Chains A and B, each alone.
Chain A
């Protein structure tokens, strides 16, 4: 069974550009959530997708958007990049949106975004 995989692992963008990060969830998992982790801090919840619909969002502006596909893989899109968007972006999957609050999340290794 493959775990959560994310791509790219590292990328560099400039202010104002747009970026798309990708995540393949663990086999059998239909819920995907995204987190932003700034250097030296804990991860911060961005949003969650369950069965291709967003069903939870943290305190992030609308320029952070996402998609989930029928195969449960997911994308995180960030428009109009700002310097403070530089961070590690983590994707996590879990087997069910209904019981996910009580169960385990499986994290990928993240995509490190640097905005210059």
Chain B
């Protein structure tokens, strides 16, 4: 199964952009790249997903490398509420509907 690699932790200052990297060198052509985040004492929350093209929504942007072996989640202006664990997940559109979470990146936002 294709796996993802993320840094264990990152820090950011409030109101500055944050770039959260994810490596997925064994990604297959049918894998979608999903990002979820988990705030303290809550269940995971969907952030964004994409296949090949960069994606934007109200929460974030997803930049996908041309070879799809890496991606970056971009929070344009970090707020204190963005402090969470961010998970990068590959989901095979042809397989079981399971999402294989890794340990994620714990983002700390400093005021």
Contacts and interface: CB of A to CB of B under 8 A. Distances in A.
Contacts of B87: 42
Interface in B52-105: 85, 87, 91-104
Task: Bin chain B's interface residue count.
Answer: 20 to 34
A107 B43 contact: yes
Task: Bin chain A's interface residue count.
Answer: 20 to 34
B21 interface: no
Contacts of B99: 43, 45, 105
A104 B50 CA distance: 11
Given A42-B104, A102-B93, 15 more contacts: A33-B98, A40-B103, A43-B44, A45-B98, A55-B96, A56-B98, A58-B98, A90-B43, A97-B97, A100-B97, A101-B91, A101-B95, A105-B36, A107-B45, A109-B42
Interface of B: 32, 36, 41-46, 49, 85, 87, 91-104
The 4 closest A-B pairs by CB, nearest first: A42-B101, A107-B43, A56-B96, A45-B98
